[in-house]
Amino acid sequence: MKALSPSVLAGASAVAILAAGLPIGSAFAQDTVIRFIQCGDEIAETYPELIEQFEADHPGVSVEVEVVGWGECQDKATTLAAAGDPVGLAYMGSRTLKQLALNGLIVPIPMTEEEKASYYPHIVDTVTFDGQQWGFPTAFSTKALYYNKGLMEAAGLDPETPPTTWDELYEMSAAVAEETGVSGYGLIAKSFDSTAHHFLNWLYTNNGSVIDEDGNITLDSPEAIEALAALGRMVPVSEPGATAYESAELRALFNDEQLAFLQSGPWERVRFNEGIDWGVAPLPTGPSATGPGTLLITDSLAVFNGTGYEDLAIEFARFLTNPENQFAYESVHGLTPLRPVPGVDELVAEDPTWKPFIDGIPNGGPEPLFVDYRGFQDVMIDMVQSVVLGEATAEDAIATAAADLEEYK
């Protein structure tokens, strides 16, 4: 088990994790203040009204929200918990949950089978390990392929027929590069977390995986080797110096019409320059795929241990993320829906560009949970860069990465 660093754990008291099956009781101490850390610049638009409603339904309970910037909020919640002064709940990247749980800092979430089934497939997997859930998913992203129709047409391609397979993506990217002098595909290989995510999208569009539910590393597989080899094949038809690029920098190239194909999330739909004729399609698939796929990334509301009001904090988090309240939150913030609620069909009918981001979910895969998720990301980055720079074959790079991941699981 990877422990938190001594500086984070200094002063932490030993506390027992609540049993997953404990019912949520209606009794709680009067004048209870639920401390809640939310990441961002301001409180989420839907939260003030929901908090007011929750407080009205729970006399004697108040919710105290502290909004902390994205760069510091998760570290602050973790440091407070480790020092014996936990908040009730906090917005956390789901990738952190395994480490927090194994260090006794958060409590398991008693989630019924009905609750689990209400989400799209594999969403609950992003907050699950050791057979328990450790957070309520509250923000969700998937990926799709954006394409510049003008550049496709200039390269002699049908601008209404985007690539659907890896081979087609390579061939169309090569045609754009050869006929227009513009880079075909946006390849992410910078020393940055989006490089790990970028590879996982290739992996999950080829029916691959990194780690199974029992904690066994499954990366060293034919599907993963195919994915990494295909990604490496894209180097000559991608932007020069891919190891200097992450997603935001590729968006700039796409906006300058110096890039034909960009793999990214739904937020890009409102960030492109006016005048660019673009489309969006499911991510192209590999030879082992069973259908469109995507990396499934969630952030969650984690309930911290040691407050004395854990059950009440769970009840509050469940209220914020119930199907109705969660979809309202997603609609305001432009997030991929977590559940197939009735409003999703209306969302897609109103804006069909949402459809590719939803179509990949059933065959998608969760961001893998590792005790040391930064160690996991570093291994993935080294693996990708070694192939992009021509320093290793896909087969050797996958084998090395799979062995290295044993240290971080």
The model's pLDDT over 264-299, given as tens digits with 9 standing for 90+, comes to: 999 999 899 999 999 999 999 999 999 999 999 999
Residue 312 makes CB contacts below 8 A (sequence gap 6+) with 28, 32, 34, 58, 61, 88
pLDDT at 176 over 90: yes
Q: What is the biggest distance separating any 2 CA atoms in the chain, rounded to whole angstroms? A: 71
Closest CA to 72 of 41, 51, 97: 41
**pLDDT at residue 12 in the model:** 35
pLDDT at 84 over 70: yes
**pLDDT at residue 26 in the model:** 42
- d(C-alpha 45, C-alpha 333), whole Å: 9
Question: Alpha helices, DSSP H only, in 118-165?
Answer: 149-154
Least confident residue range of 152-156, 228-232, 267-271, 337-341: 267-271
Percentage of residues of the chain with pLDDT beyond 90: 91
- Give residue 326's pLDDT band: very low, low, confident or very high (50, 70, 90): very high
pLDDT at 404 over 90: yes
Residue 332 CB neighbours (<10 A): 11
pTM greater than 0.85 (yes/no): yes
- Give residue 228's pLDDT band: very low, low, confident or very high (50, 70, 90): very high
The torsion defined by the Cα of 86, 91, 95 and 97, in degrees rounded to 10, comes to 30
- d(C-alpha 338, C-alpha 169), whole Å: 29
Give 7 or 223, the one with higher predicted confidence: 223
**pLDDT at residue 6 in the model:** 34
Average pLDDT for 37-44 = 95
- d(C-alpha 223, C-alpha 229), whole Å: 10
- Going from the N-terminus, what domains does the chain have, and what CATH number goes with each? 6-141+297-366 (3.40.190.10), 144-293+370-405 (3.40.190.10)
pLDDT at 10 over 60: no
Chain-centroid distance, C-alpha 190 = 18
Question: pLDDT tens, 310-319?
Answer: 999 999 999 9
**pLDDT at residue 362 in the model:** 94
pLDDT at 123 over 90: yes
Mean pLDDT of the chain: 92
**pLDDT at residue 31 in the model:** 87
- d(C-alpha 84, C-alpha 17), whole Å: 14
**pLDDT at residue 4 in the model:** 45
**pLDDT at residue 29 in the model:** 52
pLDDT at 17 over 90: no
pLDDT at 126 over 90: yes
- Give residue 19's pLDDT band: very low, low, confident or very high (50, 70, 90): very low
